[in-house]
Chains A and B, each alone.
Chain A
Amino acid sequence: MSFIQTLISGEQKLFKSDSLTQMQKITLRFVVMGLVFYGFVVIEGMIMRIYQVKVIAAIGADQYFAILTAHPLVGIFGSTYLIVFGAFLFLVPFLMKKPIWSVKMANWTFLLISIGTFTFWAAGFISHYAPLYTLYWPLPADFSQFSAIGGAVFITGIAVVMVGTFLFVINIFKTIMYTPEGWDKQPSGKLLKSALGIDGFTNMFAKKDKEHLVSLPVAAIARGTVDVALNAIIILFTGVLILVYMLGEIFGVSLEKTAVDALLYKNWFWWGLDLVADGLVLVFVAGTWYLLATLITGKKLFMQNIARAALLVELIVSWTVWSHHLLADQSQPVFLKIVSGEMVTAFELITQGLAFFIVLVTLWSARPLKMTPPLKFLLGGLLGFALAVPAGIMQADMGLNRVLHNTQWIIGPHVHVAILIGLSMTLYSAIYFLFPILTNGAKLYSNKLTNFHFWTHLIGGIGMGAFMGMAGLKGMLRRTLYFDGEYSLYMILAAICGAFLLVSFLAFFFNIVMSVGLKGVIGIFTGAKEKKELLPAAE
C-alpha cells in the first residue's frame, strides 16, 4: 500500500469503523479527543519551556500566565479525564460482562467534558484570565488584574466539565450495581460493598476467603471514582463561589472579599484538589497496573487481598493528606502540618510502594515475557511513580519544604515526572493493550515508531523533570519569570527534553492515524449499527 492509501484507509485496511459497536465508538471518541487535548498541553508546555529560556516578545506576561493556568487544567480534565473515563466506561462493562447502564449518559460525559475544556481554554486564551489552578483567594476575584467576564466564562467551562464528571460517576456506580433487562436480580448492596473494598478487608481476617463479587480492577475504578465525585463537589462549590463575585462585578455590585477566609478556603480547596493528585490518580493508576499485570501475564495478582485492602487505605489516606500543601503556611496549625502533612502523607510511600512491589512480582511470576508495547510502557509507568513519589515525600517534610515549596523541584521531579512518566506511560500501556480490542484487530502502522515513542517520551520526561529539579534546588521558583538568564543552562536543557516529548507525541499520533486511517478517524464519530453489545459477536 502506498503512503497516501495507508493515510486514508489505515494499515492494511484492517480498521473498519462500520464494524464497531456503539460502545467501542464512544470509547475511541473519548481517547481521540483526550489525545487532541494532550496535543494542546504539549504545545503549550513547549511554548512555556521556550519562554523560560528566552522571553518571547509576541507573548506578554499576562498571556504566559494564562497559558500556565490552562495548561494543567487542560491536561487533567481535557486529556487525562477523557482518556481515563472513556477507558473505564468500556472496562467496567467489559470486566463485569454486563452492558453499560446508560450509553446516553456516556455520550453526555464526552460532550460536556470536551465542550467545557474548550470553553475554559478559549476563555483563558482570549481574556488572559490567569489565577492559576490553585485559585488562591482572593486572586480569582481580583478584577484589577483579570476581566470578570473572561473569568466567568472560564469558571463556567470548568463547571461544565464537573457536570460531565458527575454523569461519569453515576454511570460507573449504576453499571456496577444495576440489573440489566432479562437478568436475575443483582445484589446491589453486596456489589457496592465489594466495589468499595470492604470485603477485601474482611477477607484478610477470615479463615476462608469469600469470593469477590467485583474484580480488583473494577474495585479500583470504583474507589477512585469516589475521589472523582468528592473532587467535583469541591471544585463546583468553589467555582460557584467565585462566579458569585464575578457576577457581582459584572452587575456593578462589589462584594467584600474578606467575607471568605483565605486560609480556610486554601484548606478546603487543597482538600478537594488533592483528591486528584493524591487520590484518584494513585488509586486509578494502581488499579490499572493490577489489570495490566494480570492481562499481560495471564496470572493471578500477587497478594490480591492486600492489594484490595490497600486501595481502600489509599482512598482514606487521600482524604487526609491535603495539609502537605500548606507546610509553608505559618498560620496552619502545627498539628495538621505534622499529622496530615508529614505522617499521613508518608503512607503514600507505603501504599504506592506495595502496589509497585505487587505488580513487579506478578510480572516476575510469568517470566519469560515478551517485551510488548504494553509491558514496556507499564514498566515506564512503574518507574515514573518510583521516581516521583519519594520526591513528593521529601517535599512533604516541614524542614525540607521550607526551601522547596513553590520551587521548580515540586513541579519537575515530582509533578511532571508523576504525570508524564508515571501516569501517561501507564495510560499509553493501556491504550496499546486495548487498541486491538477497541478496533476489532487493527494493526499498528509501525513498531519502530512505537519504540521511538517509548524512548523519546521516557528520556524527555525524566530529563525535563531532572533539569527543572536541579534549577529548583538552586532556588528557581515555579510561578514566576526570570529575565536575566539566571537559570538559562537548566532551562535550555529542560527545553531540549521538552522537545523530545513533543516529537514523541507527534510520532505516537502519526502512528495511530496511519494505523486506523483518516477515514477510520472520521468513522469513529459517526453512528454505529450495533447498539446493544459491547463488542461485535465473534464470527
Chain B
Amino acid sequence: MVDSSVVLAGQTLAYTFYTSVIILLMLWFGIKVTSKGKSTKVKPGAFYAFVIFLTVLGVSLHIVTLNTIPWTSLDVNMKNITPDRTFDITVEDHEFKLPSKTLKMEVGEIVMFSVESKDLTYGFGLFRKDNTMVMQMQVVPGHRNDILWKFEKPGVYTIRSTEYSGPKGIGMILKDAVEVVEKL
C-alpha cells in the first residue's frame, strides 16, 4: 500500500543518495582541479549526452510519480470520478466548521473534502498522530477547493491549516477530527 510515508521514505532515500554523490563529486573535482597534471579535453559529445540525460531525468520523474503515487491520478482525473462520500467544510475567522464533530469514512472509499473559505486563504491538511502529513491543499476564497482521497488503512487524523493566514492562524488545529474505519 502506497501512502505518503512510503512516498516520502523513497524520496528521502533518493535525495540522500544524490546529495552524497554530488558532494563527493565536488570534493573530488576541487582536489583534482588544483593538483598537478594535464587536463584531458572534454568533447562536445559529452555535453550533449549530459543534456539528454537531464531531459530524460526531468520528464521521467513525473511519469514515474504519475504511475506510482495513487493520489496523482485522482487529482488529474477528478472531474470524471464520482466520490463515495463528500464532506463540505467551511472556514471562516480562522476556524474550521465541520458537518459533524468527527468525519467518519471507510477504508477504500473515495472521499471528497470540499472546503470553502469565507474570508482568507487557508490550507487544509490531514496529519497522523506522529505529526507526519497525509495530504494537504490550499483553500482559496471565492473558488472550489475539492480534493479526492482514498484511505488504504484505518486511522485517526488531525486537521490543520497548512497555509499562513496571519498570526491568528497558528491555532487552526482540530485534533482527531477524521476517523477512517474498516466498516461504518
Q: Which residues from chain B contact A486 at a C-beta distance below 8 Å?
A: 131
Contact A328 B138 (CB under 8 A): yes
Classify chain A's interface size. 35 or more
Q: Are B72 and A398 in contact (CB under 8 A)?
A: yes
**Bound Cα distance A139, B123 (Å):** 13
- Please judge, given known A-B contacts A145-B167, A334-B75, A397-B62, whether A368 and B35 are in contact too, CB under 8 Å: yes
Query: 1/0 contact trace for B143-181 toward A, CB 8 Å?
Result: 111110000000000001111111111100000000000
Given A138-B141, A367-B37, list of 7 further CB < 8 A pairs? A134-B164, A136-B121, A302-B47, A361-B47, A406-B123, A475-B128, A486-B131
Which of chain A's residues 345-367 have a Cβ closer than 8 Å to chain B? 346-347, 349-350, 353-354, 357-358, 360-361, 363-367
Measured between beta carbons, the chain B residues less than 8 angstroms from A347 are: 58
Nearest 4 A/B pairs, CB to CB:
A346-B58, A399-B69, A479-B164, A399-B65
- Asked if B120 contacts A142 (CB within 8 A), the reply is yes
CB distance from A349 to the nearest CB of B (A): 5
Shortest CB–CB separation between residue B95 and chain A, in angstroms? 14
> Quick check: B18 and A61 within 8 Å, CB to CB?
no
The smallest beta-carbon distance between A69 and chain B, in angstroms, is: 10
Choose among A329, A371, A386, A477 the residue that contacts B162 (Cβ–Cβ < 8 A).
A477
Asked if A302 meets B58 with Cβ closer than 8 Å, knowing A130-B166, A328-B137, A357-B47, the reply is no
Shortest Cβ distance from A28 into chain B, in angstroms?
A: 30
Q: Are A343 and B121 in touch, CB under 8 angstroms? A: no
Residues of chain B lying within 8 A (CB to CB) of residue A407: 133
**Counting CB contacts under 8 A, is B81 at the interface?**
no
Is B65 in contact with A397, judged by CB distance below 8 angstroms?
yes
- Which A residues are in CB contact (< 8 Å) with B119? 138, 142
Contact across chains for A379 and B30 when beta carbons are under 8 A apart: yes
Please count how many residues in chain B sit with their CB below 8 Å of the partner chain's CB atoms.
Answer: 78
Q: Which of A65, A303, A398, A413 touches B47 (beta carbons < 8 Å)? A: A303
The answer to whether B86 has its CB under 8 Å from any CB of chain A is: no
Contact with B along A398-423 (1 / 0, CB 8 A): 11101101110000010000000000
Whether A383 pairs with B34 at a CB distance below 8 angstroms is no
Report chain A residues within 8 Å CB of B22.
383, 386-387
Q: Which residues 2-33 of B sit at the A interface, judged by CB distance below 8 A?
A: 4, 7-8, 11-12, 15, 18-19, 22-23, 26, 29-30, 32-33
Cβ contacts under 8 Å, B32 to chain A: 367
- Give the nearest-CB partner of B23 in chain A: A383
Q: Does B54 contact A (CB under 8 A)?
A: yes
**Chain A residues with CB below 8 A from B34, complex form:** 367-371, 375
B35 contact set on A, CB distance < 8 A: 368
Give complex CA distance A65, B165 in Å.
Answer: 11
| A–B pairs, 9, beta carbons within 8 Å | A142-B166, A328-B138, A331-B140, A343-B59, A360-B29, A367-B32, A405-B136, A474-B130, A480-B169
Query: Contacts A353-B54, A402-B136 known; A346 to B15 CB distance under 8 Å?
Result: no
Give chain A residues whose Cβ lies under 8 Å from the Cβ of B4. Answer: 402-403
| In the complex, A393 has a CB within 8 A of chain B | yes
Among A64, A263, A346, A367, which residue has its beta carbon within 8 angstroms of that of B62? A346
How far is it, in angstroms, between the C-alpha of A463 and the C-alpha of B149 when the chains are bound?
35
Residues of the A chain whose Cβ atoms lie less than 8 Å from the Cβ of B166:
65, 130-131, 139, 142, 145-146
Q: What is the interface of chain A mostly: helix, strand, loop, or mixed?
A: helix
B103 contact set on A, CB distance < 8 A = none
- Residue A474 contacts which of B23, B69, B132, B134 (CB distance < 8 angstroms)? B132
Q: In the complex, are the beta carbons of B137 and A346 less than 8 A apart? A: no
Residues of B within 8 A of A331 (CB): 140, 143-145
Q: Are the C-beta atoms of A364 and B54 separated by less than 8 Å?
A: no
- 1/0 per residue, CB under 8 A from B, across A329-341: the answer is 1110010001000
Asked whether, in the complex, the Cβ of B131 is within 8 Å of the Cβ of A329, the reply is no
Residues on B with beta carbons closer than 8 Å to the beta carbon of A65: 164, 166-167
Judge if A50 is at the interface, Cβ distance under 8 Å. Answer: no
Q: Does A62 contact B (CB under 8 A)?
A: yes
Set of chain A residues within 8 Å of B183, measured between Cβ atoms: none
Contact A399 B72 (CB under 8 A): yes
Bound together, the chains give a CA A487 to CA B119 distance in angstroms of 31
Q: Does chain A have a CB within 8 A of B101?
A: no
Q: Which residues of B contact A342 (CB under 8 A)?
A: 62
B11 touches A394 (CB 8 A): yes
Judged by a CB distance under 8 angstroms, whether B55 is at the interface is yes
> Complex formed: what's the CA distance from A233 to B165 in Å?
26
Q: Is the CB of B164 within 8 A of A475?
A: no
In contact, A473 and B141 (Cβ under 8 angstroms): no
Q: Does A262 contact B (CB under 8 A)?
A: yes
A481 nearest CB neighbor, chain B only: B170
A387 touches B19 (CB 8 A): yes
A383: nearest chain-B partner, CB-CB: B26
How distant is A362 from chain B, measured CB to nearest CB, in Å? 10
Closest Cβ of chain A to B34, distance in Å, is 5
